[in-house]
Amino acid sequence: MARILVTEKIADAGLQRLRDAGHVVDVRLGLSPEELIGVVPGAAALVIRSATKVTREVLEAGTDLVVVGRAGIGLDNVDVEAATERGIIVANAPQSNILTTAEHTMAMLLAQARNIPQAHAALISGRWERSRWEGVELADKTLGIVGLGRIGKLVAQRAHAFGMRIVAHDPFVDPERARQLGIEMTSLERLVEISDFLTLHVTKTPETINLIDRDLLARAKPGIRIINVSRGGVIDEEALAEAIRVGHVGGAAIDVFAEEPTTESPLFELPNVVVTPHLGASTREAQDKAGITIAEQVVLALEGEFVPFAVNVAAAEASETVRHFLPLAERLGQIYTALTEQVPKVLEIEYAGQIADSDTRILTLSVLKGVFGAVTDEPVSYVNAPRIAAERGVEVRDTSTATAHDYVNLITISGGGHSIAGTLVGLRGDPRIVQLDGHTIDLPPAEHMLVVRNEDRPGMIAHVAGVLSEAGVNIDDMHLGRSARGEAALQVIATDRSVPPEVQERIRAGEGIVSVHAIG
């Protein structure tokens, strides 16, 4: 059970999901920065939206923090670098509001094209201004999209339905793939030169701050209209206001601002500008999805499981194939460390077979979680495992090969004179340990295990079984490891409980016993 600090309103279903997982949910709305620093100590998780500023100072005060969960997409209010340094997972809900944001973009596009807010304000004020607020059609106009991610693609689909021509700029999108969607890829400079409407769908990074600046606006097609429902600060608001005042830019529809909340902007005084107070994700459906999604991510993080939407974990986007191997990879790491008793300076991890075709970086992190979990006092996560390895001077070498002679897939950990390998078998993907220090075995990785190395001579199995029986320890499963020469010099035993140290010593005292290692 952990304390989860929630500083902004999220869906009740999300809060209930946290409670159902057995955690204490501490809801504190409207905290000042100083108050947040005062209440975050003792919290294992911090759940926020866009208003709470999770600074380095907050993270340093949160000495027990395992995860920061953002119920939404943008993370410019979280010091992700500082969280990563401290091994804190930062997760968001990237798919919760994509549809809502795309729909709001289309609403802003139409409002800008047809001057709907201005006409409404004039009419309810007693002015019939039909000729003043004449609009333009979307059909046959060119829509430029900056950022062709999930939201950008949804906007493109909807704009196609209005008969618009779509061009886009995104350095990470394959032009051929875009062409199949009916979208022409081009440079940012050419995009503004040919677009009648321009919409932004980018995250706020050092590279995108003031992306649309005075120089770029000067190159834009005269009369261009600009929509921003992405992040504040990616447009130079002063430069945009000036370009609208002189008539070079035809208008703008802005949902996000450099400073939020705000009631002042040079854009507010311009009649051909439509503004909303960051409503892009503000629908009941999106808020419900965001709350439930982030609750699920937080629960996974607190349980030490894989967090699909962690933003500061290398290769967090793991394929479904790879995810099945995560528990096995971590358990192999745990067993390996128990056998070696210390982590070697060089740790080698090999992925063989079909799994080698996938991105296996998250599996390496899972192995490191298992390896270092038993040798350090701090919690080991997918975030801080590489840092712990570096601090301990451990070089991690991971390789992949399409060839796995005896198995469809195989994960092997080796180094320091020891090795262990495992795979998944059968339709249900049951985990198996199939090799240990050069001996072939076939045993599920149980919670409690005993590994006994002995001379290849009669009486070894009887001795071990007899000591366990006298101690009241049941044997759930057992396998004899065979070396390449056929020697039965290894016993791997699954027990119903942890084998006490004094029982291990009695086994070691037997003639012909080389070593005894208890796992779990």
Residues known to be catalytic: 231, 260, 278
CA atoms within 13 A on the CB side of 28: 17
Task: Kindly tell me the burial class for residue 99, based on how many C-beta atoms sit within 10 Å of its own C-beta (0-12, 13-18, 19 or more).
Answer: middle
Q: C-alpha 480: how far from its chain's center?
A: 41
Distance CA 106, CA 103 (A): 5
Reference 184, options 202, 165, 198, 171; nearest CA is 165
Residue 379 is encoded by which pair of tokens?
Answer: 């919690």
Buried b (16+ CB within 10 A) or exposed e, 481-500: bbeeeeeebbbbbbbeeebe
Please state whether beta strands 418-425 and 430-436 pair in parallel, antiparallel, or not at all (unpaired).
antiparallel
Reference 143, options 112, 119, 117; nearest CA is 112
Task: Return the residue matching tokens 């001996």.
Answer: 439
Is omega for the bond preceding 261 within 30 degrees of 0, making it cis? yes
Task: Kindly tell me the burial class for residue 31, based on how many C-beta atoms sit within 10 Å of its own C-beta (0-12, 13-18, 19 or more).
Answer: middle
Rg of the chain over all Cα atoms, to the nearest angstrom: 30
Residue 136 is encoded by which pair of tokens?
Answer: 């333009």
List, in order, residues 6 or more apart from 18 with CB less than 8 Å away: 4, 25, 47, 295, 298, 299
Could you tell me if 78 and 89 are in contact, meaning their C-beta atoms sit under 8 angstroms apart?
Answer: no
CA atoms within 13 A on the CB side of 147: 23
